[in-house]
Structure 1
Amino acid sequence: MPSLAQMNGSLHIHQFYIGKLRAKQEQLHDSDPELAMLLDNVAEVLKEHALELAEEIAERECDEW
């Protein structure tokens, strides 16, 4: 099982790439809508995983108290 620090690092990486995907999606919105939609879908999958990870982190932090 990963440590709390590893989980927080993973969450930070997820958030970084979600931001990158969203920025690129905005750039491509008019010129390549299909690719923009694909990037949006990938960002949504990462976002869902990040939310699950954040919940797990919160639970583990509560357990440590």
Structure 2
Amino acid sequence: MPRLAQMKGSLHIQNFYIGKLKAKQEQLFESDPELAQLLDNVAEVLSEHVVTLADDIAELEYED
């Protein structure tokens, strides 16, 4: 299992890219709604992974 610091770094990076995806999705909503929907779907999948990762981090921190 990855170290806690690596997991926290991954969590930070994923949150950063979720923000980028959502910002781009908002920009494209009028001009290319299909691409905007695709970006929204990708952000949703990453968000689900972030929740799982955050739970794993919390569990590891609790164990320490």
TM-score, normalising length: structure 1: 0.98
**1:5 corresponding residue in structure 2:** 5
- Over the residues paired in the alignment, what is the CA RMSD in angstroms? 0.3
Moved over 6 A (4+): none
Q: Is there any run of 5+ residues in structure 1 with no aligned partner, and where? A: none
TM-score, normalising length: structure 2: 0.99
**1:22 corresponding residue in structure 2:** 22
Deviations 1:10-52 (A, max 9, x none): 0000000000000000000000000000000000000000010
Deviations 1:40-65 (A, max 9, x none): 0000000000010000000000000x
Q: Secondary structure at the match of 2:9?
A: helix
Q: Which amino acid aligns with 2:37?
A: M
Q: Is there any run of 5+ residues in structure 2 with no aligned partner, and where? A: none
Q: Secondary structure at the match of 1:9?
A: helix
